Amino acid sequence: MRPARPVNGRSGRRSSRLRRLVPGGAGPLRRLPAGRSAVLLAATALTLTACGSGPEAAGAAGEPQPGGTLVFAVSSDQGCADPQQVGSNDSIYSLRQVVDSLTDQDPETGEIVPWLATEWSSNDDATAWTFTLREGATFSDGTPVDAAAVKANFDRVPDIGARGTLPKGYLAGYAGTDVTSPTEFTVRFEQPNVQFLQGTSTHSLGLLSPASAAGTDEERCAGVIGSGPFTLESYVKDDITVLAKRTGYDWGSSLFTHPGEAYLDRAEFRVVPESGVRSGSLQSGEIDAIASVGQQDEAPLTAAGVELQARPNPGIPFGITFNHETPLGADPAVREAVSRGIDRDELVTAVYPTQTVKATSSLSSTTPGYADQSALVDYDPAAATAALDAAGWVPGPDGIRAKDGRPLTLPLTFAQNIATAKPSLELIQQQLRRIGIDLQLREVQISETPVVQQDGDFVALWGNLTRADPDILRSQFWTGGNNYYRFPPSPLDDALAGQAAATDEAQRAELAGTAQRLLAEGNHNVPVVELTTVLGVGPTAHDVAFDASSRIQLHDTWKSG
């Protein structure tokens, strides 16, 4: 059995290492070799300070004070107000505040620490996990946060529809939850599930009241009840999410820097799709913080005294994944040409914030278990054209290749849920045209993406997923799961399933590395650029803290002035 450390008070470790983000600032992140432990996750974590929310700035502004409303602008809305059914950062920012999790993950070290659970252990093969809950926590409808409530949540997850990809992945092989007392329960799996513990720290397994958990998917998307430091006061799709302080809250994560209730009275998350409007509203003081800061906004925001706060996201980088049941997606030459035809250095320099780095694997370099595959995925237009030539794709008079009378027109589906999405793809479109590929951009709403994946209504899909655990690969690319990309069975399945079952850390890292190599060799997933979350934080907002997945936690946030 592997006992967890017990709750030992508020550690205050949410104030991460600090570094300023300015044009011409710090250089690329160093790479993590395969097999490095999760405790080294913070070696590349960046949180930046100027006049807004770092600890030094907080001291200059005075002691934290309760009250006030934080107004936060995001670029999109996933169309659902249920944390267990969203995967887009813009929606997670607000909904993370509504739910507590069994555990938390230290953004500095990657260590799993107590939150609602005070301790936990697993059996030798990680097929059963036993937790002890703290007493006194309640959902905002008055229902106790007890073992029966956890069971109600976990029993419901396998039945969530297309939006529930993430929690269903964390509970893969779920065999049930045994309640032994109001504060003790055991979660059982049909096969070893090492990654489950980290999954309990995520918003996707954040706990809902049993009444909310029992609702239909659509009922839950209209609004849910959690036990978090804020309650969901109102939600208007594609417009605004309003949170209110949870009165009496006193069961926060061991990483929160103060006990008890949140400082803020309210938080408003407004959907503002235009990057320039978000930036201008922040500079004018109309709003307090913005997400999705683009490269073009960095200089004017910095000049206006806005803090640019950044942290690289772990998980799957932004890239292109193919539907293998389509002719082009099943063509290895086309997949190789797309991967080798993208000039990632040019893309990062032209489009992204200054701290962004190109992707070199199907895991970002800040993810435990990352293994560098740059030799297999780097820019090589000669190799790209050679692959197409060998497969019979012949250049036509307009430069676009064709085979058997069919032009090499590749539809790429994407959602404009981040300011850099469309500019990135327009540049990739130009780059691939140089080697004879006609990339056609097909834009959908972020709320439509799960249905597009489930229905298979795409040839190639642009996107990313954030998680500080290599098992994010299994949730996306294992044929024994959702298999939204219609991968055929292959040795990749063995590597993905193996890392999820490996209780030895070194063995797990080796298997995760094998999975990344196989993905790169087959060009099944074309990694392009690592997402670095960059927030703009105004001078009256303090301690807007990143969690381990580069989302935000507002329990310790406060306003001055």
- State yes or no: pLDDT of 41 exceeds 70: no
Tokens of 288: 């307090």
CATH number of the domain encompassing residue 165: 3.40.190.10
Phi, psi of 125 (to 5 degrees): -105, 15
The rounded percent of the chain whose pLDDT value lies above 70 is 89
- For residue 181, pLDDT beyond 90: yes
Q: Are 336 and 387 a contacting pair, CB within 8 Å? A: yes
**CA–CA separation, 475 vs 478, rounded Å?**
6
Q: Please give the residue that has the higher pLDDT: either 9 or 455.
A: 455
For 135, 262, 263, 542, the CA distances from 558, given in Å and listed in that order, are 27, 8, 6, 5
247 vs 228: CA distance, rounded Å? 10
Which range (26-30, 44-48, 303-307, 472-476) has the least confidence? 26-30
What is the pLDDT, as a whole number, of residue 417?
Answer: 81
Dump pLDDT digits (tens) for 140-179. Answer: 999 999 999 999 999 999 999 989 999 999 999 999 999 9
Residue 25's pLDDT band, with cuts at 50, 70 and 90, is: very low
Q: Is the pLDDT of residue 277 over 60?
A: yes
| pLDDT higher than threshold 50 for residue 326 | yes
Please indicate, yes or no, if residue 22 is contained in any of the structural domains: no
CATH (domain of 472): 3.10.105.10
Inside any domain, residue 28: no
Give the pLDDT score at 130: 98
**Is the domain of 155 the same as that of 207?**
yes
Do 344 and 268 reside in the same domain of the chain?
A: no
Q: Which residue has the higher pLDDT, 414 or 1?
A: 414
CB 532 within 8 A of CB 509: no
What's the token pair of residue 560?
């001055």
pLDDT digits (tens, 9 = 90+) for 123-148: 999 999 999 999 999 999 999 999 99
The span from the CA of 161 to the CA of 216, in Å, is 10
> What's the pLDDT at 418?
83
**Residue 518 near residue 438 (C-beta atoms within 8 A):** no
Q: Establish if 4 belongs to a structural domain.
A: no
**DSSP letters for 101-112:** -SEEE-TTT--E
Q: Are residues 269 and 240 in the same domain?
A: yes
Q: Which amino acid is at 144?
A: P
Strands 128-133 and 112-114: unpaired
pLDDT band of 247, cuts 50, 70, 90? very high
Is the model's pLDDT at 556 over the cut of 70? yes
DSSP state for residue 393 in the 8-state scheme: -
Kindly state whether residues 308 and 164 are assigned to the same domain: yes
The least confident of 27-41, 74-88, 183-197 is 27-41
Q: Which domain holds residue 88?
A: 38-312+533-559
Instruction: Enumerate the β-bridge partners of residue 407.
Output: 402
Same domain, 537 and 526: no
Co-location of 393 and 449 in the same domain? yes
Strand partners, 177: 187
DSSP 8-state code for residue 84: G
Domain assignment of residue 522, yes or no: yes
- The answer to whether residue 502 is domain-embedded is yes
Cα–Cα distance, 373 to 40 (Å, whole number):
20
Distance CA 175, CA 123 (A): 15
Q: 524: closest CA among 368, 370, 362, 373?
A: 362
Q: Is residue 274 part of a domain?
A: yes
Rounded to an integer, the average pLDDT of 491-519 is 96
Contacts of 159 (CB under 8 A, 6+ apart): none
C-alpha of 435 from chain center: 32
- Shared domain check, 276 and 256: yes
How do residues 333-359 score in pLDDT, each as one tens digit? 999 999 999 999 999 999 998 889 999
Return phi, psi of residue 442, to 5°: -120, 105
Is residue 495 domain-resident? yes
Residue 54 is predicted with a pLDDT of: 44
Report the alpha-carbon angle 238-240-244, nearest 5.
Answer: 150
Tokens standing for residue 225: 């009840």
Which of 296, 371, 384, 341 lies closest to 528 in space, CA to CA? 341
| 268 and 330, same domain (yes or no) | no
Res 561: pLDDT: 76
Which three-class secondary structure state does DSSP give residue 292?
Answer: coil
Cβ-based neighbours of 142, under 8 Å, separated by 6 or more:
none
Cβ atoms 160, 217 nearer than 8 A: yes
Q: How much is the pLDDT for 278?
A: 96
**Which residues, other chains included, contact 426 with Cβ-Cβ below 8 Å and sequence gap of 6+?**
441
Which three-class secondary structure string do you get for 129-166? EEEEECCCCECCCCCECCHHHHHHHHHHHHHCCHHHHH
Which segments of 357-457 are extended strands (E)?
A: 394-395, 401-403, 406-407, 409-415, 438-444
Per-residue pLDDT, averaged over 518-539, amounts to 96
Q: 285 falls in which pLDDT band (50, 70, 90)? A: very high
CA dist 349 → 198, 266, 279, 405 (Å) = 34, 38, 21, 37
Residue 534, pLDDT > 50, answer yes
Alpha-carbon distance 17 to 309, whole Å?
Answer: 11
Q: Which residues are CB-contacts of 411 (< 8 A; sequence separation ≥ 6)?
A: 440, 442, 458, 459, 460
Produce one character per residue of 319-334: b if its CB has 16 or more CB atoms within 10 Å, e if not.
Answer: bbbbbbebebbebebb
Whether 312 shows a pLDDT value over 60: the answer reads: yes
**Close Cβ partners of 434 (under 8 Å, ≥ 6 residues apart):** 341, 381
Residue 23 lies in a domain: no
Supply angle C-alpha 258, 117, 191, rounded to 5.
140
Say what the alpha-carbon torsion angle 490, 491, 497, 499 is, to the nearest 10 degrees: -150
How many Cβ atoms are within 10 Å of 156's Cβ, its own excluded? 19
Q: Which two tokens stand for residue 561?
A: 């002035």
Q: Cα–Cα distance between 265 and 247 in angstroms, integer?
A: 10
Distance CA 183, CA 253 (A): 17
pTM of the model: 0.82
**Same domain, residue pair 537 and 524:** no
For residue 119, which of 108, 103, 143, 135 has the smallest C-alpha distance? 103
Predicted pLDDT of residue 460: 98
Quick check: 171 and 64 in contact, CB under 8 A? no
| 386 and 441 both lie in a single domain | yes
Domain total in the chain? 2
- 537 with 437, same domain: the answer is no
| ∠ CA 342-345-349, rounded to 5° | 120
Structural tokens at position 34: 């395969």
Residue of higher predicted confidence among 50 and 331: 331
Note the pLDDT of residue 102: 98
| The pairing of beta strand 184-189 with beta strand 128-133 | antiparallel
Instruction: For residue 61, name the pLDDT band (cuts at 50, 70, 90).
Output: low
228 and 217 in one domain?
yes
Q: What is the mean pLDDT of the chain?
A: 89
The pLDDT of residue 40 is 34
Has residue 101 got a pLDDT over 60? yes
